[in-house]
Amino acid sequence: MTVRYQIVQRDDSLQSKSMRIQHRVTLTKGTRRRQALKTTGYRIFWGVGGKGFVPVKGGVRPRGREAAPGRVGGEVRCAEVRCGDSPPVPGVWGARRLRAVPPPCPAAGVSQVTVRDALNQALDEELERDERVFLLGEEVAQYDGAYKISRGLWKKYGDKRVIDTPISEMGFTGIAVGAAMAGLRPVCEFMTFNFSMQAIDQVINSAAKTCYMSAGSIAVPIVFRGPNGASAGVAAQHSQCFAAWYGHCPGLKVVSPWSSEDAKGLLKASIRDDNPVVMLENELLYGVPFEMSEQAQSKDFVVPIGKAKIERQGTHVTLVSHSRPVGHCLEAAAVLAKEGVECEVINLRTIRPMDIETVEASVVKTNHLVTVEGGWPQFGVGAEICARIMEGSAFNYLDAPAVRVTGADVPMPYAKILEDNCLPQVKDIIFAVKKALNI
């Protein structure tokens, strides 16, 4: 018999969307021995009879004391527990029985693919498709990338196509921009976009403006990619969101993927685009698996730049977000649905050019708007969305002022509890929705 539970997950770095079967535990009658059939390394806590169990490499070890409750704002995960003859032990801490059902069968051709693997596939396919494409950055070659995005590519394509660079963003970004002007299609990886500040003159003045200043005679087909926004425990100088920074600049296209489908499709579209594209990924999403259809896994699959995606249909309020907060919006929408509030969740995918038409159409339907982002509030992405709605025809359909949910207007603290309170959480989104709806 298979029983599905919701498990309190203490690690905020993981998204709950599309993570149904991530840990298996066998409960046998009598001794109720627990054996990890698949160790994920995630900090999932169980408690039976006052005892807690922590998944560790090679199995599950008892904590020997009562399991502590999950941290406020922790993610909720779906897991699958296989039971023997005995029913599930009552009072399993951190687990709530949903219903006894067989495990869901995935649709034909649908696979679970992590964001990391989706990006790796995109790079591999585009390097194979076009010999003008090459990848450069710190540790992208022999080390397989700081985040293993380029795993295996150096061995497959060699030193001329996958190039390790010195720790000099200004230098290797300038090389990449010059190569793009000469007709190549470089993919320039920043270990984090915080380090792109060292090269912002090359990105803005050299890459973004050259096509305009040359009257269109010099194209700069280049992709600047890497992790953006807050990670975990890396403090102020490594936690900024640059969506508003680069989205401010004409001449650039700026994309911000959430799911594996977004990541693969947008990266392939960015490499094929004749304009400089800034691709803002999220480090905390790299290891998260999402469902990918057979079509999305094909070599011809691309996500058009400048087109948002409605992740969840709704009628009462529009939630607009990008990158990791999209997952928070979906979780908030699931909670609110139990209270009779149906949220429409829009994944922007592209910051510039922004698909404001999709947002306007949703606002006309729901009459309420909440924007969610991890960046600072002043001059942010949410502020731009609110301004565009106010200036357009959709403003006449709003029944209440738009509400923004953003990161706190402070440099990111190092302390974990302060960091959590500086970033939008599910509870903050729920509060904002209820404020917009006056409930």
Residues classed as catalytic:
169, 238
H-only helix segments in 34-168? 115-129, 153-157
Q: Please give the full DSSP string across 251-316, using - where no structure is assigned.
A: T-EEE---SHHHHHHHHHHHHH-SS-EEEEE-GGGTT-EEEE-TTTTSTT--PPTT--EEEE--SS
Token pair 């009552």 in the structure block, residue: 90
Q: Cα–Cα distance between 225 and 189 in angstroms, integer?
A: 5
CB 273 within 8 A of CB 306: no
Q: Please give the full DSSP string across 72-101, using - where no structure is assigned.
A: TT-EEEEEEEEE-SSPPPTT-BTEEEEEE-
Between β-strands 277-281 and 223-227, what pairing exists: parallel, antiparallel or unpaired?
Answer: parallel
Nearest Cα neighbor of 65 from 44, 55, 50, 48 is: 50
Long-range Cβ contact pairs of 38-46 (< 8 A, separation 24 or more): 42/9, 42/11, 42/14, 42/77, 43/9, 43/10, 43/11, 44/7, 44/8, 44/9, 44/10, 44/77, 44/79, 44/94, 45/8, 45/10, 45/70, 45/93, 45/94, 46/7, 46/92, 46/93, 46/94, 46/95
Between β-strands 289-292 and 111-114, what pairing exists: parallel, antiparallel or unpaired?
Answer: antiparallel
Q: Cα–Cα distance between 414 and 341 in angstroms, integer?
A: 36
Helix (H/G/I), strand (E/B), else coil: 376: coil
Strand (E) or helix (H) holding 136: strand 133-137
Q: Cα–Cα distance between 363 and 382 in angstroms, integer?
A: 14
Token pair 């009658």 in the structure block, residue: 29
Preceding omega of 289 cis (within 30 degrees of 0): no
